[in-house]
Amino acid sequence: MNTELSEAHQKIVDEVRDFATSVVAPAAYSYDTERRLPMEIIAQMGEMGLFGLPFPVELGGQGQDYFALCLAVEELGKVDQSIGVTLEAGVGLGAMPVYRFGTDAQREQFLPMLAKGEALAGFGLTEAEAGSDASATKTHAHLDNGEWVINGTKQFITNSGTPITRLVTITAVTGESDRPDGSVKKELSTILVPTPIDGFTVEPAYDKVGWHTSDTHPLTLENVRVPEANLLGERGRGYANFLKILDEGRIAFAALCTGAAQGCVDEAVRYASSRNVFGKNIGSHQYVAFKIARMEARATAARMAYYHAASLLLAGKPFKKQASIAKLVGSEAAMDNARDATQIWGGYGYLNENAVARHYRDSKILEIGEGTSEVQLMIIARELGFEA
């Protein structure tokens, strides 16, 4: 695996890093405190083409690849995970299902505005009793006079209530059949729901521990009617399709984790090099230096893990296990580094205005979102041949 970035990829890294340090980082504490998604920053990201990185030029994209998206997400994640996940989810969960499984008409309708950052999309999968176990989905949809009629609720849906949200892809039960053992097999499909639309309610945003800037809402659908043509992919293939989207999305999510882990390293190095105690900086103490060295090792391992998974994806090779490894390793690195960076900063690290304090609050969700650590272990074990 070649880890040296191409000229095109390095250019993306340089441009997004400059944007992250000069625009996102200085404003992060302000909009984190206000608990709002800064649409002015999202607009700038759209103008930079970040939301269209992996999509073809003819669909409004930049004609790059999925790895380019991962690199951009990592750079944003170093300074603000909320902004990083807005991009990661907007592309990986919002636009990518349309690109992977949509008809030509669906792509032409939705992808140009999503790729240009003029609109955002959410992926309505999770419910109160259906997260890791998507087969427990209760949202139902049935056909009536050429329209899908959808009823149900969704939870923890990113980018679902922004001023520019124009689409939420909903997973719903579209049929049931009896199994030989007497149990019921659910037919799970995915349906495109343009927003706003009658019967679709974006409930008040969650009061979260972290990711204060990320837009996250529960949703209620009451007799929402959309054309039959809004079925995304084959009927009954919703479960299989969303698994493919999550497998792929975990690579970009691992890049976000890596950015968070590296951001903590950068802040720890900066503070340990300037904070003087008893006449010398604290980084001169072996204990502190070794702690930061271990943080750097974690971040590097996380980066290599998602680079590997991305290389397999781009080569058209199986990558499910490597994506789960990258997500597991990256999320643990981010959480461990956030804790250590906060310890190095001491009392200052416990102030919300400090970037490490924000990473400390934000990083826990990295071990939960887009598949918990336990789910990743289950996937890895299965790929090794175990029935765990």
User: Is 370 an active-site residue?
Assistant: yes
Decide: 196 and 166 in contact? Cβ < 8 Å: no
Angle (CA) 7-111-154 rounded to 5° is 115
Catalytic residue among 370, 374, 383, 387: 370
The per-residue DSSP string of 28-90 comes to HHHHHHHT---HHHHHHHHHTTGGGTTS-GGGTS-S--HHHHHHHHHHHHHH-HHHHHHHHHI
Coil/strand/helix, residue 346: helix
> Quick one: 196 exposed, middle or buried, by C-beta within 10 A (0-12, 13-18, 19+)?
exposed
| CB hemisphere CA count around 178 (13 angstroms) | 3
Decide: 262 and 106 in contact? Cβ < 8 Å: no
CA torsion through residues 188, 191, 195, 196, sign? negative
**Helix, strand, coil percentages in the chain from 3-state DSSP, rounded to 5:** 55, 20, 25
> Quick one: 209 exposed, middle or buried, by C-beta within 10 A (0-12, 13-18, 19+)?
exposed
* Residues labelled catalytic: 370
